């Protein structure tokens, strides 16, 4: 064991406030994050106000079928005479709330389990982590498919299936974060002052681990959207005639020539997922300016 | 000395390995109320392990630690027994001793709550800030707004707000600027004596310890090799290790005198046990 | 005779609020064959000054002034020197030893190679000569089992031994100046004694010049010939060692000595506590 180094107030040259951005992507992360937040906000508003904005009833089959965009409708009509634009808007009100709900519930379940495992250690940790490992051992999408198929195709079951496969990564992350702080002097001080486990977790540990969890959650929203849309695409989620982007893309496969049937719901998925990804990246960079991003093409020291 | 507040008997702390590493090899000590006892030694001698075993952060392989009337349990899943919140700790690293996301006043308030829960007198966090030399209005500030030395003083305030009977300080000044080390150590002594608490002060810096400790325990390789009245030991160390330690301290008097380097042959004598060197009293 | 002269050195840190001075115009002269102590607390700028000599400042720092290395009548300007000049100087004329013994040596290169690599580069020595010289150096610094040590790795040595080896590496090409940045701070006091003795011997026997940067005034008192005290980037006082310790001129120096157990100006614990509590609140940390 070596004696401690002296510097408590020293200017540490590696932790300077002014930092020339060395990440090719990192320099853009704030503007992109803002752009992403703007797009996400627009979509959230669409999800809330869809019934008011949509020009046609998304379920009404009263328009000429398979009409290309520009001939009376903004995004064309599908094979049953429904307005694609209205269905895309309405789809937002299905996908976005459910995805957000999925992420929130995964975080809650995963983080609580992970925190318990990390804080109490020993057999509690072993038990929870082995269960986590077990679930994580299966490929996410396939497991979700199996569960959804077993429970029967419905949006509710799709969310349930997605929840089951999503919580483990939060449990792992939270456990690691809690372990990192568990032996910190201030946590031990709290215990010496008579804090109960709950008090220690709530006061001392939770506020200091929120950052990384938040980052993972925001990056995960995109994954949640893709998972739910994917399950619906496979017929394991939303049931017809519900307007849901994934099932819209699935239906579009049958009418390949009508390019507008798959393009617009696909673009909707793309823009929402990318928007949330940019938010997540910006949050991650904001919380830790020294983090690496491989996307930028270079690690930085 | 009146009935001691903290006693240990033959404490042994071992770490895993083949063979297991004996960091603490049978240490017994007793500290009374209002007494400052220093535990000194170089790196690897086991002083931190002993401190941690005494307060219950580290597991003991054998031996007993008694605080007041009760045995000190290891900190675990169970909540710390209320009576034991009368023993508090100050850590070496001020930067990790405070929760970065809570106001310092609230954190000192935790100490106050612990005192109240034991039926002791309450106090005001702002008062404590003043008593450690900081601005009482700073109670609403967050730890990152303070320097390392200031954070350490806040940690000390929090520990003392719990009105402990015993304060265990593990290298509390080592990470501070040299110019404040002695001041903060002296402050800790003053505040403990005021509160009638005992203090176990662990340090590798003998010069500072000389100024604030009533008794000193010199530790080498897990054992106490010399102990007793501080000034008596300083004026006439008996054990060869204590002698080498004192001779190796550079004295800042400007005389250009090199401290004495112990020879390899000398080191062999350091593992001896010399009964006369233990429990020395003032002449 | 001077060997290194620092004149009006300024080092600024580029921040988002504009340049912040780290070193604010200091002068220092290192005499040949002497140990010059540069003392100061954290944030005084002493380490940056040492790094500036070898052009090791981080990119975000801007420097101006002059750092002149004088030898055989020729003067080489080190501040802002080209990479070729610095490459020729580093290790060969000016070498450095750092604080942390666990990171001052490359963990995955044998001690022997760490000694011989740059010897062979700078001094153009053959393999056998370099090896012999390496053993000599290790003997000089009293490293244990010099010939055996060549094939060992840093983790096989203790902190104090590693620091000695780091000194040997620094001395490998027979430099004129050795910069030592807190070389004994991380060492136990009994180990420190040995390293300080080594430094003093090297200076007395071989005419090495040392700039010793440390906050530890006890170390200064033991080995330094001249002492310069820095505070907040400026020189506060500079004097021969004995004079500085027994008759300090500046208030700051006096306060440092007052807080130091064993110094002539030492104050009682009660007085120190009184000062601590009465002191105006220092500026908040950045």
Q: So what's the pLDDT on residue A9?
A: 42
Tell me if B256 and C285 make a contact (CB, 8 A cut-off): no
Residue A123 lies in a domain: yes
> Is B245 in contact with B38 (CB distance < 8 Å)?
no
Is the CB of A18 less than 8 angstroms away from the CB of C14? yes
Could you please report the per-residue DSSP string of C240-254? EHHHHHHS--SHHHH
Q: What is the pLDDT of residues B202-233, one digit of tens each?
A: 999 888 999 999 999 999 999 999 999 999 99
Tell me whether residue A256 is in a domain: yes
Q: Is the pLDDT of residue B2 over 80?
A: no
Which residues in chain A have their CB less than 8 angstroms from residue B53's CB?
A: none
Indicate the pairing of strand B70-71 with strand B62-67: antiparallel
Pick the CATH number of C2-93+175-278 from 3.90.1150.10, 3.40.50.300, 3.40.50.10420, 3.30.70.270: 3.40.50.300
Residue A7 has pLDDT above 80, yes or no: no
Instruction: Indicate whether C238 pLDDT > 90.
Output: yes
- pLDDT at residue C175, rounded to an integer: 93
Q: For residue range C48-76, what is the model confidence (pLDDT) as tens digits? A: 999 999 999 998 899 999 999 998 888 99
Q: A164 with A151: CB under 8 angstroms?
A: no
* Residue A188, in any domain of the structure: yes
Instruction: Please report whether residue A39 resides in a domain.
Output: yes
For the segment A72-87, what is each residue's pLDDT rounded down to a tens digit? 788 888 888 888 999 9
Does residue B111 have a cis peptide bond before it, meaning omega lies within 30 degrees of 0?
no
Which two tokens mark A168? 């483990």
Q: Which of A15-24, A195-204, B256-265, C215-224 is predicted with the least confidence, judged by mean pLDDT?
A: A15-24
Q: Which of A228, A229, A177, A224 is nearest to A204 (CA)?
A: A177
pTM confidence score: 0.83
Question: In this predicted model, what pLDDT tens digit does every residue of A18-74 receive, in sequence order?
Answer: 444 444 455 677 888 899 999 999 999 999 998 888 888 888 888 888 888 888 788
Least CA distance to B205: which residue of chain A?
A: A3
Question: DSSP 3-state assignment of B214?
Answer: coil
Residue C274's pLDDT band (boundaries 50, 70, 90)?
A: confident
d(CA C149, CA C115): 11
Q: Would the CB atoms of B75 and A194 count as touching at under 8 Å? A: no
- pLDDT attached to residue B160: 96
User: Which residues does C228 contact at the CB level (< 8 Å), separation at least 6?
Assistant: C28, C36, C37, C38, C39, C235, C237, C238
Closest by CA to C273, choosing from C258, C286, C283, is: C258
- Cβ count within 10 A of residue B2: 8
Interface of A with B in 129-168 (CB under 8 A): none
**C-alpha to C-alpha distance for A86 and A64, rounded to whole angstroms:** 15
Mark out the alpha helices in C103-250 (DSSP H runs). 111-123, 127-140, 146-149, 159-171, 189-206, 217-223, 241-246
Asked if A301 is an interface residue toward chain C (Cβ–Cβ < 8 A), one would say: no
Question: Which DSSP state fits B258?
Answer: P
Say which residues have a Cβ less than 8 Å from residue B230's Cβ, sequence separation at least 6: B38, B209, B210, B213, B214, B215, B216
- List CB contacts of B190: < 8 A, sequence separation 6 or more: C269, C270, C273
Put simply, the answer to whether A8 touches B147 (Cβ < 8 Å) is yes
- Give C-chain residues touching B187 at CB under 8 angstroms: 273, 276-277
By C-alpha distance, which of C145, C208, C128 is closest to C176? C208
> Smallest Cβ distance to A5: which of C43, C100, C159?
C100
Which chains would you list as touching A if contact means 3+ CB atom pairs under 8 Å?
B, C
Residue A77 confidence (pLDDT):
87
Q: What is the pLDDT of residue A18?
A: 41
Report the complex ipTM: 0.92
Question: pLDDT at residue B171 above 60?
Answer: yes
- ∠ CA B72-B63-B202, rounded to 5°: 70
Closest of A289, A287, A253, A272 to residue A78, by C-alpha: A253
Contact at CB, B178 and C188, closer than 8 angstroms: no
**Residue-wise pLDDT tens digits, A151-165:** 888 888 889 999 999
Q: Which of A4, A186, A192 sits opposite B174 (nearest CB)?
A: A4
What pLDDT, in 10s, does the model give residues A212-238? 898 889 888 888 988 888 888 888 888
C155: tokens are 């983790």
Which residue in the set C193, C242, C276 is minimally distant from B183, CB to CB? C276
Domain count, chain A: 1
pLDDT 10s digits, A106-145: 999 999 999 999 999 889 999 999 999 999 998 888 888 8
User: Would you state the pLDDT for residue A5?
Assistant: 39
Task: Return the pLDDT at A14.
Answer: 44
Q: B23-44 pLDDT, tens per residue? A: 999 999 999 999 999 999 998 8
Calculate how close chain B gets to C263, using CA atoms only, in Å: 5
The percent of residues above 70 in pLDDT, for chain B, comes to 99
In the numeric block, the tokens 């957000």 are attached to A100
* CB-CB neighbors (< 8 A) of A195 in chain B: 79-80, 110
Q: Is residue A298 part of a domain?
A: no
CATH, residue A242:
1.10.3720.10
Instruction: Check residue A26 and give its pLDDT.
Output: 57
- Whole-number pLDDT of residue A38: 93
Query: Do A4 and B77 count as a contact with CB atoms less than 8 A apart?
Result: no
Question: pLDDT grade, residue B189 (50/70/90)?
Answer: very high
- Domain residue ranges in chain C: 2-93+175-278, 107-174
- B107-136 pLDDT, tens digit per residue, is 999 999 999 999 999 999 999 999 999 999
Give per-residue pLDDT as tens, A164-202.
Answer: 999 999 999 999 999 999 999 999 999 999 999 999 999
Residue predicted with more confidence, A284 or A135: A135
Range of the domain at A169: 28-57+84-290
In a domain, A14, yes or no: no
In terms of CA atoms, which chain C residue is nearest residue A11?
A: C43
Quote the minimal CA–CA distance from C135 to chain B in Å.
Answer: 21
CA dihedral B108, B110, B112, B114 (to 10 degrees): -150
With a pLDDT cut of 70, the percent of chain C lying above it is 98
How many other C-beta atoms lie within 10 A of the C-beta of residue C237? 20
How far is C158 from B43, CA to CA, in rounded Å?
12
């Amino acid at each position: 064991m070596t004696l401690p180094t002296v510097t408590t107030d020293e200017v540490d040259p590696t932790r300077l406030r002014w930092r020339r951005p060395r990440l090719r992507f990192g320099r853009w992360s704030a503007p992109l994050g803002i752009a992403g937040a703007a797009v996400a906000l627009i979509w959230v508003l669409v999800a809330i106000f869809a019934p008011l904005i949509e020009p046609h009833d998304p379920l009404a089959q009263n328009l000429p079928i398979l009409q290309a965009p520009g001939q009376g409708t903004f995004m064309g009509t599908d094979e049953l005479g429904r307005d694609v634009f209205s269905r895309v808007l309405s789809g937002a009100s299905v996908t976005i709330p459910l995805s957000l709900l999925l992420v929130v519930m995964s975080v809650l379940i995963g983080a609580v389990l992970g925190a318990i495992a990390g804080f109490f250690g020993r057999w509690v940790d072993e038990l929870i982590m082995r269960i986590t490992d077990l679930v994580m051992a299966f490929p996410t999408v396939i497991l979700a498919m199996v569960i959804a198929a077993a429970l029967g195709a419905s949006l509710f079951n799709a969310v349930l299936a997605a929840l089951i496969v999503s919580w483990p990564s939060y449990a792992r992350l939270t456990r690691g974060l809690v372990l990192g702080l568990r032996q910190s002097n201030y946590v031990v001080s709290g215990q010496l002052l008579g804090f109960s486990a709950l008090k220690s977790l709530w006061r001392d540990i939770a506020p200091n681990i929120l950052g990384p969890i938040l980052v993972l959650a925001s990056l995960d929203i995109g994954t949640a959207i893709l998972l739910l849309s994917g399950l619906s695409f496979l017929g394991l989620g939303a049931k017809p005639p519900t307007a849901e982007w994934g099932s819209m893309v699935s239906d579009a496969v049958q009418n390949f020539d009508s390019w507008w049937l798959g393009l617009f719901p696909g673009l909707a998925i793309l823009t929402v997922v990318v928007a949330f990804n940019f938010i997540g990246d910006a949050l991650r960079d904001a919380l830790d300016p020294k983090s690496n991003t491989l996307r930028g093409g270079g690690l930085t020291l | 000395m009146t009935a001691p507040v903290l006693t240990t008997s033959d404490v042994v702390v071992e770490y895993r390995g083949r063979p297991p590493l004996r960091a603490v090899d049978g240490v017994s000590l007793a500290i009374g109320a209002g007494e400052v006892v220093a535990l000194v030694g170089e790196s690897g001698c086991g002083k931190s392990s002993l401190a941690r075993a005494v307060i219950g952060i580290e597991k003991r392989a054998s031996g007993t630690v008694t605080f007041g009337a009760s045995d000190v349990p290891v900190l675990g899943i169970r909540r710390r027994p209320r009576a034991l919140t009368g023993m508090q700790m100050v850590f070496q690293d001020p930067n990790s001793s405070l929760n970065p996301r809570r106001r310092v006043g609230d954190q000192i308030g935790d100490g106050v709550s612990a005192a109240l829960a034991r039926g002791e007198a309450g106090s005001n966090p702002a008062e404590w800030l003043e008593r450690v030399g900081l601005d009482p209005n700073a109670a609403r500030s967050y730890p990152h707004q303070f320097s390392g030395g200031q954070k350490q003083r806040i940690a000390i305030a929090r520990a003392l707000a719990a009105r402990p009977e015993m304060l265990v300080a593990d290298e509390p000044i080592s990470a501070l600027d040299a110019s404040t080390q002695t001041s903060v150590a002296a402050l800790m002594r003053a505040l403990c004596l005021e509160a009638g608490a005992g203090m176990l002060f662990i340090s590798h810096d003998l010069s500072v310890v000389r100024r604030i400790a009533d008794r000193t325990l010199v530790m080498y390789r897990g054992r106490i090799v010399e102990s007793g009245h501080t000034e008596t030991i300083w004026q006439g160390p008996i054990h060869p290790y204590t002698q080498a330690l004192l001779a190796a301290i550079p004295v800042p008097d400007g005389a250009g005198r090199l401290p004495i380097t112990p020879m390899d042959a000398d080191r062999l004598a350091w593992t001896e046990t010399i009964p006369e060197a233990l429990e020395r009293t003032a002449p | 005779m001077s060997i290194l002269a620092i004149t009006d050195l300024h080092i600024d840190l580029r921040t988002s609020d504009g340049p912040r001075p780290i070193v604010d115009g200091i002068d220092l002269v290192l005499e040949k064959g002497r140990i010059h102590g540069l003392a100061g607390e954290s944030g005084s700028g002493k380490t940056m000054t040492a790094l500036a000599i070898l052009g090791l400042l981080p990119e975000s720092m801007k420097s101006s002034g002059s750092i002149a290395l004088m030898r055989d009548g020729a003067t080489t300007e080190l501040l802002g020197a080209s990479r070729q000049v610095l490459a020729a100087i580093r290790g060969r004329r000016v070498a450095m030893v750092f604080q942390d013994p666990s990171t001052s040596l490359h963990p995955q290169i044998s001690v022997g190679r760490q000694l011989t690599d740059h010897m062979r580069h700078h001094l153009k020595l053959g393999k056998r000569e370099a090896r012999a010289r390496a053993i000599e150096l290790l003997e000089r610094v009293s490293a244990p089992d010099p010939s055996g040590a060549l094939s060992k790795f840093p983790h096989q040595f203790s902190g104090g031994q590693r620091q000695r080896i780091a000194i040997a590496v620094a001395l490998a090409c027979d430099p004129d100046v050795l910069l030592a940045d807190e070389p004994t701070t991380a060492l136990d006091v009994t180990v420190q004694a040995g390293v300080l003795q080594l430094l003093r011997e090297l200076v007395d026997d071989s005419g090495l010049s040392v700039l010793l940067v440390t906050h530890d005034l006890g170390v200064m008192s033991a080995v330094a010939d001249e002492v310069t005290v820095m505070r907040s980037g400026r020189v506060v006082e500079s004097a021969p060692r004995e004079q500085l310790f027994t008759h300090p001129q500046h208030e700051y120096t006096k306060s440092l000595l007052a807080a130091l157990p064993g110094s002539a100006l030492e104050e009682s614990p009660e007085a120190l506590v009184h000062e601590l509590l009465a002191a105006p609140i220092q500026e908040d940390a950045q």
